Chain A
Amino acid sequence: MIKRLLQEVKQYKKASIAAPLFMVGEVVMEMMLPFLMSFIIDYGVNKGDMAAVAKYGGLMLVCAFISLICGTMSGWNAAYASSGFVKNLRESMFTAIQKFSFSNIDKYSTSGLVTRMMTDASNVQHAYQMIIRMCVRSPLTLIVSFCMTVYISPKMAMIFLGAMLFLGIILAIITTKAHPQFEKTFRKYDDLNASVQENVTNIRVVKSFVKEEEETNKFYTAAKNLRAMFTKAENIIVFNSPVMQLSMYGCMLLLSWMGAKMVVGSQLSTGELMSLFTYTMSILSSLMMLSMIFVMLSMSMASAQRIVEILNEEPSIVNPEDPCMEVKDGSIVFENVHFGYAKGEDKEVLTDVNVSIESGETIGILGPTGSSKTTMMSLIPRLYDVDSGCVKVGGVDVREYDLKTLRDAVAMVLQKNVLFSGTIKDNLRWGNEDASDEEMIEACKLACAHDFISSFPNQYDTFIEQGGTNVSGGQKQRLCIARALLKKPKVLILDDSTSAVDTRTDKMIRESFKNYLPETTKIIISQRISSIEDADRIIVLDDGKITGIGTHEELLKDNAIYQEVYQTQKKGDE
């Protein structure tokens, strides 16, 4: 997993290596300082040699300066590497998602993908920066400081070794105990926030059933529960700082006692003893830092995992080798098509579908929810691949086409359709990048959208909010149809795309299709009989099987489902 992530470092490899290298320089220089200090005292001050003080003092300044340069360079490189790394990560994730097929997309929720690309990526960014800066700094400080103490006095170094072991073991115990407790707590925290979210969106229900007090009590209990869990978790890590202090003070006492004896016994100079005191702090605090890094890293692991999941997701539909680059006409053939969403499960969604549609025909598709109308149509632009059998467009198996060629020729207006933030023109250009104003107006006229667009003050330059919230449902649907028309498709599939459009406009749209798009194969999925009754042929689907194909009159005669739907709808309309 880590390996997969590291592949994304790419052009930032140099900076990623430079950052820790400069850090080494900084740490080494920093560690020299207490060492030089003892020189100043021992060789300078004690011997009354001001020249030596100046010499070592000057050396210290040089060290501090080099340390500053190295630190700055390390910081810059780390910033460059980590922000670049996360940029690459986001780009790769975005690319991966763009390559996803529908079945890949179905696996993730929108918010899930957004979280992965934003929050999780940011977490990894911080972790990465931490690694290339701190993960080098802390162990290095630890090692260099320890080496220095060994150099000064191997005997005294044993004190540090003992303290490190003591602190290390206790920190390890605390961390391993606290981590699962925190994870549990944070899950509970998510639950609490979910219930707040529920209350905010359901506020009308809460208020109309006068449940404010009870909801508050419910929240109170949950919040109390959360407090208890947080307290429990924090009560584990509360030992961190006292234990750290205990080790530090312990070291200092031992150093004082043994140090005094050694100085008296001339085994140690006072300057050296002072250096040892300084190293106490840097050794123990870097150990502390290490345990913190460890916790942070293990937390960002979950994020890394979620990112890699996206990066490793295999797109289930890829372009064939040597693809067919032209769609001849709008004829469609389904041959013994079987399909199920979950591979390996026996729950088939389409069973043995056989139908042949000629170019230019108008086909209506009707059937109850869950009868797989949308699924069947999704196979035409190869949004999903069949399990067995084949779907042919223009006489060629869809799996042999170049994907872009195929999907440009087959325009599908989705049931859950989306307009993007931008002007109406921007949105229409999704259908055809180079569409002229005249072409756009023509398409909008065909989709009965021109009139209402013209009534807007800014007409075709009207800005559409994200998700198309500032146009009505029916207007949105007509814009989506116009957008699809601009593709000049050979096959046009409307998946319940006029449900919010009134019956008369609906009819006008269908008429204009008939008159102006005679070559295009038109397939209309609808819940409304009125939308499809004048189609050339109607396919009735039930539970993934075709139960009837024929004209309105034919089906009314011998198809039970069709009759039933007709009955219920006519009863309301008369």
Chain B
Amino acid sequence: MARHPKGVGTNGKKLDVKVLLRLMKYVLTRYRFRYLIVFICIAISAVASVTSSMFMKTLIDGYIEPLLLSDVPDFAPLLKALMVMACIYGVGVISNFVYQKTLIVISQGTLFDLRNDLFSHMETLPIQYFDTHAHGDIMSIYTNDIDTLRQVVSQSIPQFLSSMITIISVFCSMVVLSIPLTLVTLSMVVVMQFALRFIMSRSGKYFAAQQQRLGKENGFIEEMMEGAKVVKVFTREEKTMQEFKQINDDLCDAAYKANKYANIMGPVNGNLGNISYVLCAFIGGLLALNNIGSLTLGTLASFLALNRSFYMPINQISQQLNSVIMAMAGAERIFAVIDAEPEVDNGRVTLVNVKEENGKLVECEEVTNHWAWKHPHDDGSETLVELKGDVRFHQVDFSYVEGKQVLFDIDLYAEPGQKLAFVGATGAGKTTMTNLINRFYDVQDGMITYDGIDVKLIKKDDLRRSLGMVLQDTHLFTGTIEENIKYGKPDATHEEVVAAAKLANAHSFIRHLENGYDTMLTRDGSSLSQGQRQLLSIARAALANPPVLILDEATSSIDSRTEKLVQEGMDKLMHGRTTFVIAHRLSTIKNSNAIMVMDKGRIIERGNHDALIEKKGTYYQLYTGVIENS
């Protein structure tokens, strides 16, 4: 089911305006007031910087030139003007500081909200979502996509704003100073845009190729590192090296070409700016000398400064554009998760504590460990049905993907306390059966009842609380052993934890750990052996104390001593509960009340061990070892 992450070749992609708008909406609705502050401060700061270049004209024409002409230079007016400038600069610096600081709050806050929205929504998604999406892809949304978005929110958007304001105010100032020179500048901007577009389309093409080849190389390395020992055992080092060299050379080629174009963007832009500068100086000089358009030397000086500050923001915008396009692809993926349909739950039947009064069940507030299903009816009345663990399948059909049916007309019943086992080859539909009981998936046709109630009517949370699961891949969480055992019942006392551990045969190994029950587990309990992890997950299920259990037996080979412990633990756990066992080792299910032999989505044989052996059918063949079971 693993799907390789799609290539991230977004460079050649057009900006998706719809996603951008949605993102803007997401950001702006949260921090309306703060964004207003940012906008104002950016404007002030940009105006201050434009004023600063405009001041050169005033300085030369208004102060220096007159001073040069006067016999007794009076510097007082200049000093006053400089004081005014200092104030403007001061305001500029302060606004800059304010908007930068506000932006931190905005960007971190937005990311925080986005992460939370993403995570809390993810938790509501149906299992199907996780089964059909590669976990690596989901992870990369949290790591890569949110990260690129952070850059956009905290850098690109403000830069964009500030550049736009600068461009506009600089443009206005240029027009005021000299219209002919403005035209010269603009014509160079057009040339620059053409050059930029040409280079970007080239580099984009090769960046896409680079990403794709990076992915290929990544895959190759991953495979060869995973199989590093096999490579050595088969002495395939040379051959592997050759293959790697080929892939690596291809990558290098793409990377070179991509960077080659990306790297000339700076010089081309910069020097087109320089050419524009020279042109303006030359034409401006001609105009000033010939007194055309009332262009003075001071005006020319100011204009040239403006010319410089005109190209910088244009350069910045075009650079930011690339990262915005990349981030939008990420935002699209983020929104796709947020938009994914959550698990629906129309269940009305809830699980309540009850006590017996005069031979009748009565709902009560206190914890009695005696449970019943509270079933509200359309006419307003309610009935209480005792929770026993009676599970029945009535003519169940099911398919994960439309048109590819995996279960056909399944009928079965498990009475409270019975043990039912499913056997059959991989893909026969054993795991699917258990997926349906706890409604990880919903049946398409037919019905599953639990204590006589259609499971679709039961609130999912309550249904799942009443079902315990021990999966073949044990999944533990970062935290102490005690926390892991308490997972299904956070308010359990230490004594209860120990009792559950004892029941699961886990107590003795836990006691021998240096920190006992406080031992920290990380990375799925990698410090423990497979068998120990299994014992812990049994203890976890035992503490939750559900009336119905689903056990997916482990396939991995653990040594026979540990296996015995695990088996004993499971047996104790199963005692008195309705249990569904997906069996991989036939020896462990002989004492089942019923064994269902499954093949291609159908139950082809059923009965207890002796009866099935007697029958000499598929089970007999499996048991004596003719057909492989994996």
Contact = CB atoms under 8 A, between A and B. Distances in A.
Nearest to A26: B267
B615 to A, nearest CB: 19
B222 to A, nearest CB: 5
Contacts of A370: 559
A573 B585 CA distance: 10
Contacts of A234: 104, 108, 154
Nearest to B297: A45
Interface in A331-385: 368-370, 381, 383
The 8 closest A-B pairs by CB, nearest first: A71-B267, A572-B587, A75-B263, A79-B259, A504-B625, A503-B625, A369-B559, A418-B227
Given A91-B244, A418-B230, A241 B96 contact: yes
30 contacts: A33-B277, A37-B281, A60-B278, A61-B275, A61-B278, A65-B271, A71-B271, A87-B249, A197-B135, A204-B475, A207-B438, A209-B464, A209-B465, A231-B104, A234-B104, A245-B49, A245-B89, A249-B92, A368-B559, A369-B559, A411-B233, A466-B2, A472-B426, A474-B628, A475-B628, A500-B555, A500-B628, A503-B624, A507-B625, A565-B560
Interface string B125-137: 0010010000100
Contacts of B64: 259-260, 263-264, 270, 273
B350 interface: no
A427 to B, nearest CB: 10
The listed residue with most A CB atoms (<10 A of its CB), out of B135, B557, B626, is B557
Interface string B106-135: 001101100110011011100100100001
B101 to A, nearest CB: 5
Given A72-B264, A110-B222, A274-B60, 9 more contacts: A78-B263, A194-B523, A207-B464, A220-B119, A239-B97, A245-B93, A264-B68, A473-B426, A487-B234
Contacts of B340: none
Interface stretch (B299-307, B395-403, B406-414): B299-307
Interface in B300-323: 300-301, 304-305, 308
Interface string B191-218: 0000000000000000000000010011
A53 B285 contact: yes
A292 interface: no
Contacts of B109: 227
Given A64-B271, A118-B214, A200-B130, A249 B112 contact: no
B478 A198 contact: yes
B490 interface: yes
Contact of A201 (B135, B241, B275): B135
Q: Is the interface of B mostly helix, strand, loop or mixed?
A: helix
Contacts of A90: 217, 248
A50 to B, nearest CB: 6
Interface stretch (B71-79, B166-174, B416-424, B450-458): B71-79
B82 A223 contact: no
Contacts of A80: 256, 260
B149 interface: no
A485 B561 CA distance: 33
B488 A209 contact: yes
Q: For this complex, into which size category does the number of interface residues on chain B fall? A: 35 or more
Nearest to A79: B259
Given A68-B268, A231-B108, A264-B64, A83 B259 contact: yes
Given A200-B135, A414-B233, A79 B256 contact: yes
Interface in A501-560: 501-507, 527
A215 B125 CA distance: 14
Contacts of B259: 75, 78-79, 82-83, 129
Nearest to A407: B235
Contacts of A263: 64, 67-68
B221 A193 contact: no
B461 interface: yes
A327 interface: no
Contacts, number: 408
B289 A94 contact: no
B364 interface: no
A420 B275 CA distance: 57
B465 A210 contact: yes
Contacts of B232: 100-102, 105, 383, 407
Given A227-B112, A431-B234, A253 B85 contact: yes
A278 interface: yes
Nearest to A421: B223
Contacts of A212: 123-124
Interface of B: 2, 45, 49, 52, 55-56, 59-60, 63-64, 67-68, 73, 75, 78-79, 82, 85-86, 89, 92-94, 96-97, 100-101, 104-105, 108-109, 111-112, 115-116, 119-120, 122-124, 127, 130, 135, 138-139, 142-143, 154, 214, 217-219, 221-223, 225-237, 239-241, 244-245, 248-249, 251-252, 255-260, 262-264, 266-268, 270-271, 274-275, 277-278, 281-282, 285-286, 288-289, 297, 300-301, 304-305, 308, 425-426, 438, 440, 460-461, 464-465, 467-469, 471, 475, 477-478, 487-488, 490, 523-524, 529, 531, 544, 555, 557-564, 585, 587-588, 622, 624-630
A75 B55 CA distance: 36
Contact of B264 (A75, A117, A215): A75
A98 B240 CA distance: 8
A345 to B, nearest CB: 18
A48 B469 contact: no
A553 to B, nearest CB: 20
Contact of A118 (B221, B252, B531): B221
A412 interface: yes
Contact of B237 (A98, A260, A505): A98
A205 B475 contact: yes
A208 interface: yes
B308 A249 contact: no
